[in-house]
Amino acid sequence: MIFAPTALSPHEDALRHDVRRWLADTLPADFRPGLGLGGRHDPGFSRALAGQGWVGMAIPREYGGAGASTVERFVVVEELLAAGAPIAAHWIAERQTAPALLRFGTEEQRRWFLPRIAAGECFFSLGMSEPDAGSDLASVRTTATRTEEGWRVDGTKVWTTNAHLNHFVVVLCRTSAAQDRHAGLSQLIVDLSSPGVTVSPIPLIDGELHVNEVVLDGVVVPDERVLGEVGQGWAQVTAELAHERSGPDRYLSVLGLLRAFVAEHGKDLDEAAAEAFGGIAARLWSIRQLSLSVARALEQGEAPATEAALVKDVGTVFEQEVVETMRDLAAAEIDPEAASLFERLLAECVLNAPSWTLRGGTTEVLRGIAAKALTRGGAR
């Protein structure tokens, strides 16, 4: 393990304060914070944020980004998530697609997509899971067949967040029927406005409609929209996951809830409540240091995949414990229409919390990854 405590430089700390101040000025006074990744889809906000240079900031300057470091991006993302800002529109494009394009994309793709991502104008969804391919991602059945025009894509993707609002989806699909199921996979960038794309909502238990099924029926994708190499989709997706895991989104879903708790109950904490709340804060503080140390390691060119899996597991389990502890402290029937912001957020948390240990790799899958590394002697 390479977790080492790391300090923010004065420059990184100044950036944090700039973002914090800008958010305080920009978000309305009666703003209802989103639950981290559950922040609303608001293209206007994404563009305004991009105007500050804070979308796709790790993208090099020549492609329209700010050429910022991993830790600088970490700092900005932390502030956005802590505020519960409406980041959903640009989130995937900036966290996942931009690094993938930088790593695997063609020069032409970089020149076309990256400036638009950094401007907060080009939004992406992830097309990984399918009805029969969840944790076992390598069993995807969506196919891309070569045609004269490029590729013809057929299949069904599920859990595709905001596909009804975004511009593109990166589809993991089978481009050849290889024996080894990890071979023969490729990633294609599919324009969601293409003919043959049908997006329909999958209502979640809270009644929200931001997750979709995306049916691809003979969708034509030009050759220049292949991301990376044909047949290298599995390696590319695995590399992406190290970036997807361990970030601040894995422990800040509950920050808005904690802030509302302090605002409404901070003045009259008894010993038991102080102890419960302090225990939460202590773990939040430590998990954050772990996550920051992973960001620093990434910045220094390391690939801490096992550490990232551990942080995601610890972080998401922590978030769920927070909800239960807060529910105990609230000591009231949960009312989604309560006058109290704390109680409304608590209601939202209870309904959403199960997804936190599912999205981005289930707890069980993550522990499998970590256990493999541990028993291989990957840990000191």
Binding site for other proteins (CB under 8 A): 1, 3-8, 10, 13, 16, 20, 78, 82, 255, 258-260, 262-263, 265-267, 269, 271, 273-279, 281-290, 292-293, 307, 310, 313-314, 364, 367-368, 370-371, 374-375, 379-380
Q: How far is the first Cα of the chain from the last one, in angstroms, to the nearest whole number?
A: 6
Strands (E), 197-316: 197-201, 211-221, 226-227
Beta strands 151-161 and 185-191 are unpaired
Residue closer to other proteins, measured from CB, 153 or 295: 295
In SS3 terms, 45-109 reads as HHHHHHHCCCCCCCCCHHHCCCCCCHHHHHHHHHHHHHCCCCCHHHHHHHHHHHHHHHHHCCHHH
Least Å distance between CB 10 and other proteins?
8
Least Å distance between CB 257 and other proteins?
11
Residue closer to other proteins, measured from CB, 66 or 290: 290
Least Å distance between CB 4 and other proteins?
4
Residue closer to other proteins, measured from CB, 221 or 311: 311
Residue closer to other proteins, measured from CB, 113 or 342: 342
Least Å distance between CB 316 and other proteins?
12
Q: Which of 82, 99, 91 is nearest to 161 (CA)?
A: 91
Residue closer to other proteins, measured from CB, 7 or 177: 7
Count of other CB atoms within 10 angstroms of residue 5: 9
Least Å distance between CB 355 and other proteins?
21
Greatest Cα-to-Cα distance within the chain, rounded to the nearest angstrom:
72
Which of helix, strand or coil describes residue 133? strand
Tokens of 3: 């977790």
Residue closer to other proteins, measured from CB, 159 or 251: 251
Tokens of 105: 């994309």
Least Å distance between CB 329 and other proteins?
11
d(CA 228, CA 30): 44
Strands (E), 177-298: 185-191, 197-201, 211-221, 226-227
Residue closer to other proteins, measured from CB, 161 or 293: 293
